[in-house]
Amino acid sequence: MLLYIYLSLLYTAITAELPCTVMPGILTQLDAGNGEVYGVNADGNIYHWVQTDLQRDWVQVPGALIHVTVGPAGVWGVNKQNNIYKIQNNSWVQVSGLLKQIDAGGDQFIVGVNSGDAIYCVNQDGTTSGGTDLPWIKLDGALKYYSCGPLGCWGVNSANQIFYRYSVTQTVVRCDQWKQVDGKLVMIEVGQMDPCTV
């Protein structure tokens, strides 16, 4: 099954004529959304890809994170103590909760998992309020990685099984309707692009 997924993705990339370009730098994690790219390196340094007429390079952002995400809900991250931060008024602001991984790919909602693989989300009202005491909602199940896009959310558990949550609206991540998908992955990311068929 993994070979099938790999070949399908390879075929899609080739037929879509999406050229790949090696970029400078060494990162351990990166995320792209809203036309921006952020990443972190092994030392926890945070970088933002800047591309203008005058510059095309990684620019270091103040702070230290192990995971960063960017999307309609803004720029968010978690540090090695699992504290959660968001960029607000061009500065990192700590918010309530503890997560090891976070994703801002949904329509102004965020999702993530904690060190015990419990799954959490904050709906659009919470992420746009500007507050730091967020109304976290615990979802059913257990995942080590969770990512959302405009059409749904995907996750991977500790056994590398893949799950899809299709009861996602633009403002609400409901707590039901998981569907297991064949195959195994160590992580999965969802983009904000329009859907395509493989």
Q: What domains can you pick out in the chain, each with its CATH number?
A: 28-184 (2.130.10.30)
Q: Cβ distance 104 to 70 under 8 Å?
A: yes
- The one-digit pLDDT tens for each residue of the chain (198 residues) are 444 444 454 445 445 556 777 777 899 999 998 889 999 999 999 999 998 888 788 999 999 999 999 999 999 999 999 999 999 999 999 999 999 999 998 888 899 999 999 999 998 888 888 889 999 999 889 999 999 887 788 999 999 999 998 766 655 555 557 889 999 999 988 876 544 433
- Rounded to whole angstroms, the Cα distance separating 34 from 58 reads 17
- Rounded to whole angstroms, the Cα distance separating 46 from 84 reads 14
Q: How far is CA 56 from CA 52, 53, 89, 196, in A?
A: 6, 8, 24, 29
